[in-house]
Structure 1
């Protein structure tokens, strides 16, 4: 069983800690436990409850009415809501509930419904990718445990692989070599980049997680890609990211290298001339549109 502070509940639900305390006192909404040293904490059931409460409250339900519901009634109301058209933030919130409850069927239903309504790319851009970014930060800060992240990452990974397999390069696009550095295992962003690149008619050589430097060089020499791309989420760490960028640039001086990820965004790094920082996933989409436009002009 995981334990949470009231600040963790605030981060996960978006409800201010001050408001949670008021609801706790006025409606007996939460029942915090205490450690042997008298420190208050909350458990998984409290977190599930407050996530459901937050979604209903955000959609106009009065807290007094919510507090009068039992758990079964609360869950039915939430399911009704997520079956309707909600804002992107509401859908992200619904997926957060699925993650905490590890409800694979519900997660798949929410995701599939959005894909039907918005299409795969827009669902990834506006719902899944922001959701994955959110849980990545929550995992880094300890607000959720690694099991939650692995559960969701594997479900999203399955969807991405199916979508990527449905894309066929037309033979006229550019060649991209995609990889993750040694020690890096978080590949959702790289998989989505692969989908975007292939959807624009380009070819992808995908090496995936934890690519040894010698393997990267071997594949590079064989395929001579137009572009390389990597994502640095945890490895190398931010204090070693600058050295890694210079090393990468020196080893592949004739190829433009696209880079993004938690350890490089917002760290004021010196970008070598052939390394381009992508701050957001939309930057990748815009970059692909640019090179396609150049190719059409030629």
Structure 2
């Protein structure tokens, strides 16, 4: 696959200006050029950059790293991975997992992600490793000829890990609250909602998880047939503000006596008019804190 320098910036988290400096001063990468003299890079160059970033995050100087061959870098990465401590920068794991994922190397990706979960637990691994990976891949969706397959590949593995973590939680027969979780019928990116499911169950709540693309009529039926204390849904995709406002108002009518929470990156704080029973969640940490501090009903 072919990447521009801005693509490399989004995958690696390193600014284009810095990448150019590394090329000029240390021969870090060897870009190819179009007839119009525009830089472009292939998979090998992207993997090399991600390896360089990983080693730099672990404390090695750029000048030293760039002087090494790809084989020497791989050996050093393996040695670094074996000795890395729990206090090391999470960016090391993010860049290495991205490298494995972009190559569709499920064995290496799965093993390293399992190592992260074993070291840090599923909650810290999601916040500091899995979520940043998904954000970087999401930024690349604008290049439909490059990233959809890679995003799906990585997302499916991450989704599998969250499902496994949920399955390992004991069911609470005496749960004091019931939450309804869903995505609107035009939304299908459910990993954030899935992890919210984990947080709720880990805190002893009962969850009715409907997943993605759920019509409002179905929400109405579930609410009528069950004793729901709180509703959580995500708005991720962009839509007209007027349409988003109408959706929230329609949902509020259905859930007239139920507390509603919504999250997602489509709308910032104060962009929508919210009723007294609606709370906007702006971060995973904020949601976790709210769940932990909920009163016993």
TM superposition score normalised by structure 1: 0.89
Kindly report structure 1 stretches of 4+ aligned residues shifted beyond 4 Å. Answer: 140-144, 235-239
Give the match for residue 149 of structure 1: 151
Alpha-carbon distance between aligned partners in 1 of 2:152 and 2:286, rounded to the nearest angstrom? 26
Contact 1:179–1:229 (8 Å) recurs in 2: yes
Q: 1:229 to 1:140 in 2, by over 3 A?
A: farther
* Aligned equivalent of 1:176, options 179, 185, 190: 179
Give the match for residue 58 of structure 1: 57
Alpha-carbon distance between aligned partners in 1 of 2:158 and 2:240, rounded to the nearest angstrom? 25
Q: For structure 1, which segment, 195-204 or 30-39, has the greater mean C-alpha deviation from structure 2 after superposition? A: 30-39
Alpha-carbon distance between aligned partners in 1 of 2:147 and 2:240, rounded to the nearest angstrom? 20
Q: 1:206 to 1:121 in 2, by over 3 A?
A: same
Equivalent positions of 1:41-190 (< 5 A) are: 41-83=40-82, 84-85=84-85, 86-139=88-141, 145-167=147-169, 168-190=171-193
Alpha-carbon distance between aligned partners in 2 of 1:202 and 1:133, rounded to the nearest angstrom? 28
Q: Is residue 2:223 matched to residue 1:223?
A: no
Aligned to 2:293, the other structure's residue is in SS state: helix
Contact 1:180–1:232 (8 Å) recurs in 2: yes
Aligned to 1:121, the other structure's residue is in SS state: helix
Give the match for residue 6 of structure 1: 5
Give the match for residue 243 of structure 2: 240
Q: Provide Cα deviations, 1:156-188, integer angstroms capped at 9, x if missing partner.
A: 111111111222123232001111101211010
Q: CA RMSD in A?
A: 2.3
TM superposition score normalised by structure 2: 0.89
Aligned to 1:177, the other structure's residue is in SS state: strand
Q: 1:18 to 1:267 in 2, by over 3 A?
A: same
Q: 1:238 to 1:138 in 2, by over 3 A?
A: farther
Displacement after TM superposition at 1:237 (Å): 5.6
Pairs aligned (count): 293
